[in-house]
Structure formats: C-alpha cells, structure tokens
Amino acid sequence: MISFNYETDFTLDNEKAISSWISKTISAEGFKEDDINYVFCDDAYLHKLNVEFLNHDTLTDIISFDYTVGKIIQGDIFISVERVADNAKDFNTSFEEELHRVIIHGILHYCGYKDKTNEDARLMREKENHYLTRLEPI
C-alpha cells in the first residue's frame, strides 16, 4: 500500500493517479508492493533527518529508507518540496515534472538502481525518463 503524508502545507492533487503509476512501475520492474510511505516536508525537516541518520550536513531533495526484502518493496521516502522547487528552477523544468522524477527515483532505488557512478546515474536517468512517459496526464 502506498501512502502519502505531509509535514508541510503541500499536498498532492492526484494521489490516486500517482499511487497507480508507482504501483505499475514496481510491477514492471518485477517487484511486488508492500508498505511504501511518502513524506512530503520542507528543507529543515529533511536536513534534520540527513544529519541524524546519514551524518550528512547538506540539503537534499530526497532521502529513502529501504526496507525491501527480496522482491517485496517497502520503505519510507522523504521529499523536500522546497528542494524540488529549487531544482525545478535550476533544471529549467516544471515543479510537477521534477516532483514526479523524484517520486519515481526513490522507487527505482528500491528496485536496485544506483546513481553513484556516471554509468549508474545514466541508467537511472533513462529509467526515470521511461517511467515519466508512463504517467497518465492528470
């Protein structure tokens, strides 16, 4: 089950469509869905988690805690909507497209994709782009 939680004033307008898209992505990658919690928050909230759990004193757009066992995907994905908005401006894209990219990015990590090397990052971006085209217009 996919759930959306909010630690800021932001809310998704289209939870049902986004949830369906995420579920279809998980299935297409050969995995099964268990409990996946998205938490939308601000920079301060995510920064605190980054310092406390990852010992990184930096701002980031997403932190995921992966509890996947075998092919059963489960985890908590925290997304800073402030960072997403700033990144959208930096990458000259819409907030919605950047948000959707970050949402699916976390799931792709759970499916085993990495982004630490240039080659891994290229493959991750290809997968993101592929699944972004599968999101039904809302």
Q: pLDDT tens digits for 29-56? A: 999 999 999 999 999 999 999 898 888 8
Residue ranges for the binding site?
Answer: 105, 109, 115
Q: Which two tokens stand for residue 110?
A: 């759970």
Contacts with 127 (C-beta within 8 Å, 6 or more apart), sequence order: 108, 113
Predicted TM-score of the model (pTM): 0.93
Cα distances (Å, whole numbers) of residue 7 to 34, 39, 43, 84, 119: 22, 7, 11, 15, 34
Q: Max CA-CA distance within the chain?
A: 38
Residue 113 CA, distance from chain mean position: 13
In this predicted structure, the answer to whether residue 137 has a pLDDT above a threshold of 90 is: no
Task: Kindly indicate the confidence band of residue 59, based on its pLDDT and cuts at 50, 70 and 90.
Answer: confident
Q: Residues within the annotated binding site for Zn(2+)? A: 105, 109, 115
d(Cα 2, Cα 130) in Å, to the nearest integer? Answer: 21
Average pLDDT over residues 90-101: 95
Domains within the chain, CATH numbers bracketed: 2-132 (3.40.390.30)
